[in-house]
Amino acid sequence: AFHKFCVSEHSDENIRFLEVTASKPTGAAAQKVYDAFISNKSSMQVNLTSATFAIFHKAATEKKLDAAPWDTARSEILKMLKADSFTRFKANIDKFL
């Protein structure tokens, strides 16, 4: 139901990001996740802090995404979902159950 809510408010990239990073991505998978969700060129870019984004950008530039702070990124997305989207979801839960 929460995923459906996120789709309705055009923020499902956050849920998708959490799904694909449940196991820390490595190698080509890490690059694919970076391209899809973190890169400035992504159409599904998640909202990371500028500091975390800078670390990812540097890691991508240096081809070292395996060492990128995936747990930090996940924590930031979870915190944002809890504070923003989930609060709105709880207020409208009847519409999505």
pLDDT of residue 96: 80
14-20 CB contacts, 8 Å cutoff, 24+ apart = 14/46, 14/47, 14/77, 14/80, 14/81, 14/85, 15/81, 16/44, 17/44, 17/46, 17/73, 17/74, 17/77, 18/74, 18/77, 18/78
Instruction: Going from the first residue of the chain to its last (97 residues), give the mean pLDDT of each consecutive group of 10, the final group possibly shorter.
Output: 89 94 96 98 96 98 97 96 90 85
pLDDT of residue 68: 97
* CA–CA distance, 46 with 67 (Å, rounded to integer): 19
Phi, psi torsion values for 88, nearest 5 degrees: -65, -40
pLDDT of residue 94: 87
Residue 60: which of 77, 52, 43, 74 has the closest Cα? 52
